Structure formats: C-alpha cells, structure tokens
C-alpha cells in the first residue's frame, strides 16, 4: 500500500492524540470499524486511501474522531450517532442535524491542526467556532480537496470526512494570524451573539455574560450587545462594571447608536443613580430623533 498513515503507528499515535485526545471520546460501539468501512467504500477516496484510513481507525476503534496524515494530506473524520424517532419527518431532520454537526466538527479539527495555541484560546465555544469557520472559509473561497458527509444504511450513524493538502495549513495559519483573522472574529461573534441575546431575553443574566464577555474581548462593534451586557451586570449586582461598560459604549460607539439605544443607555445610567450622565444620554437620544449629529 502506497499510502502511509501516521496514526497507524504507535509513535505517530502519540503525536496525533497529544492534540486531539481531549476532543475525542469513546463511543463504546464495537460496530465503529464496520460503519467506517461502509462510509469509506461509498466515499471518493481511492482504494489505497480507504485501506490506509481504515487501518488507522482499527488502531483506535472506540474513538469517533480521527485526524491522520498520509501522502502529503491531512484527513479529518467524525462519526456521530443519530437519535431515533418514529416520525419520519423528524427522523430526516435528526439525520440532517447529525450530518451537519459532523461536517462542522471536521472543520474545527482541521483548524486545531493549523492554528497556534494562543489563537485557539481566543475562542471559547467550539461549535460556534466550527460554524464561524464554515462561513469564513466559504467567504474566502477556501476549498478543501474533499468534503463529504453521509448517513449509513442503518440510519444510526452520520459520518463526515474532509481532506486537504498538509502544506495548505501553512497558508491557513498565516491567514488566521493576518488581517483575515478579523473576518473570522466577526463571523464567530455573529454566531454567539444570538445565543447571548436569547439568554438575556430569558433573564439568564450570568449565562448571557459568558458570551457578552467574549464579544467585548473580540471588540465587536455592536453597541446593543454592550448595553445588554451592562444590563446583565446591573441585574447581577455589578453596578461598577455596568457603569464602565455603558460609558465606554457611548464614548466609542455613540455614533453607531440610534435614538432607541441611546435612550436605553440613559435608562441604565439612571438606574445606576448617575442622573447627570442619564440626562446627557437622553438629550443625545432626542438629538438623534431630530436627525442632529
């Protein structure tokens, strides 16, 4: 067999699983190898690649995530169980969701391979980052050599595989560190903001603040998100943090705020007991309603 897969050897397995053991988990399903073989047979991989990948999977049969290297390529694979439902329309949706989840996960694993540790720590939510990467790569026309997702014949498993040249990651790593990284930041913020907003609407203020803090760290230019975060601070007894964030938002993003947001800022300042700052915000809101700069 011409293809040599590093994960098939014990030494290389240590290299691979040093990065990804934390992400992978045991499925406990003895059928994993047979399921993977079924998927690979229907995939566009060559017979040599299929044998190499399957040999690597056999070395770690209880895993459901693999990243392996061979013949200048990196292979990322994810196997996901599918929930069962007697309603056909619901089952179709469950299968679609499992395929999509697997497809996002393979991209996330490739990102881990390409990015330096300090960059990885910039994003706290893995599935949000996976979704952001999908949007970011599509926007920048980053094409993988192969991307495939499917459901097996029993309907119990979803599978996704992505293959890319190993040397492509030098370019990807450079892009992540260069100006394009900001586009990835914005895509990520666009994914997590609706989650923060939903928690805020449900009055889960401490949970919402987890996401709002990330938005602030990544300097997302959405003043409404910061005012909502300030309200969360206020509702959880952190008035000093709330005041600081409202003031910062007005000073730095006041030009982006409409009259409604400026009035909201005034309400927050008033609730904090800062009547002078509240009046200033209300006056600014009135000016914006009149179309004044």
Name which residue leads in pLDDT, 254 or 1: 254
pLDDT at 185 over 60: yes
Per-residue pLDDT tens digits for 43-60:
878 888 888 888 878 887
Per-residue pLDDT averaged across 279-286, rounded?
94
User: Do 198 and 152 belong to one domain?
Assistant: no
Q: Which range marks the domain in which residue 173 is found?
A: 6-178
Of 268 and 115, more confident: 268
Quick one: 22 and 126 in the same domain?
yes
Tell me the CB-side half-sphere exposure of residue 24, using CA atoms within 13 A: 24
| Residues 220 and 268 both lie in one domain | yes
Token pair listed for 201: 């609407």
Query: At 62, is the secondary structure helix, strand, or coil?
Result: coil
Residue 152 falls inside a structural domain: yes
pLDDT score of 17 more than 60: no
Domain final residue pick, 143, 178, 213: 178
Cα–Cα separations (whole angstroms), residue 258 to 226, 245, 250, 290, 291: 14, 17, 11, 11, 10
| In the chain, beta strands by DSSP E | 65-70, 73-81, 146-151, 157-165
Residue 61 lies in a domain: yes
Which of these three, 122, 153, 178, is where a domain ends? Answer: 178
Task: Calculate ∠ Cα 171-173-174, nearest 5°.
Answer: 65
Identify whether residues 76 and 167 lie together within a single domain: yes
**pLDDT the model gives residue 174:** 62
Q: How confident is the model at residue 285 (pLDDT cuts 50, 70, 90)?
A: very high
Residue 153 has pLDDT above 80, yes or no: no
> What local confidence, expressed as pLDDT, does residue 167 receive?
65
Reported as a pLDDT band with limits 50, 70 and 90, residue 176 is low
1 lies in a domain? no
Domain CATH for 236? 1.25.40.10
Q: Is the pLDDT of residue 187 over 50?
A: yes
Mean pLDDT of 146-155: 67
pLDDT at 8: 34
Predicted confidence (pLDDT) at residue 78 exceeds the cutoff of 50: yes
> Average pLDDT, stretch 232-250?
95
pLDDT at 100 over 80: no
The per-residue pLDDT for 57 is 80
- 136 lies in a domain? yes
- Per-residue pLDDT at 211: 94
Q: Are residues 174 and 191 in the same domain?
A: no
Same domain, 174 and 213: no
Domain shared by 246 and 281, yes or no:
yes
pLDDT of 148 > 50? The answer is yes
Residue 284 shares a structural domain with residue 239: yes
Claim to verify: residue 30 and residue 154 sit in the same structural domain: yes
Regarding whether 190 and 77 lie in a shared domain, the answer is: no
Look at the chain and report how many structural domains it folds into: 2
> Within this chain, do residues 53 and 192 fall inside the same structural domain, yes or no?
no
What is the distance between the alpha carbons of residues 124 and 274, in angstroms, rounded to a whole number? 34
Q: What is this structure's pTM?
A: 0.65
* Residue-wise pLDDT tens digits, 112-132: 666 666 666 778 887 787 777
Mean pLDDT of the chain, nearest integer: 77
16 and 151 inside one domain = yes
Last residue within a domain, chosen from 119, 151, 178: 178
């Amino acid at each position: 067999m011409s293809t040599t897969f590093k994960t098939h050897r014990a030494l290389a397995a240590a290299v691979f699983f040093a990065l990804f053991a934390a992400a992978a988990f045991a499925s406990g399903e003895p059928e994993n190898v047979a399921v993977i073989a079924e998927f690979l047979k229907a995939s566009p991989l060559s017979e040599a690649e299929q044998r190499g990948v399957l040999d690597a999977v056999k070395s770690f049969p209880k895993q459901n995530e693999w990243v392996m290297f061979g013949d200048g390529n990196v292979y990322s694979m994810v196997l996901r169980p599918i929930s069962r439902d007697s309603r056909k329309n619901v089952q179709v949706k469950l299968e679609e969701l499992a395929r999509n989840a697997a497809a996002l996960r393979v991209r996330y694993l490739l990102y881990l391979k390409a990015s330096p540790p300090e960059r990885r720590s910039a994003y706290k939510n893995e599935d949000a980052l996976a979704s952001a990467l999908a949007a970011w790569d599509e926007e920048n026309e980053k094409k993988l050599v192969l991307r495939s997702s499917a459901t097996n014949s029993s309907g119990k498993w979803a599978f996704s595989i992505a293959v890319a040249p190993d040397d492509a990651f030098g370019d990807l790593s450079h892009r992540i560190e260069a100006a394009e990284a900001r586009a990835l930041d914005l895509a990520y913020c666009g994914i997590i903001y609706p989650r923060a907003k939903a928690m805020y609407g449900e009055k889960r203020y401490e949970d919402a603040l987890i996401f709002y803090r990330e938005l602030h760290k990544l300097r997302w230019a959405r003043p409404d998100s910061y005012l909502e975060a300030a309200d969360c601070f206020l509702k959880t007894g952190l008035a000093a943090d709330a005041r600081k964030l409202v003031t910062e938002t007005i000073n730095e993003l006041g030009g982006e705020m409409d009259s409604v947001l400026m009035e909201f800022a005034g309400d927050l300042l008033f609730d904090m007991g800062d009547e002078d700052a509240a009046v200033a915000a209300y006056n600014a809101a009135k000016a914006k309603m009149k179309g004044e700069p």
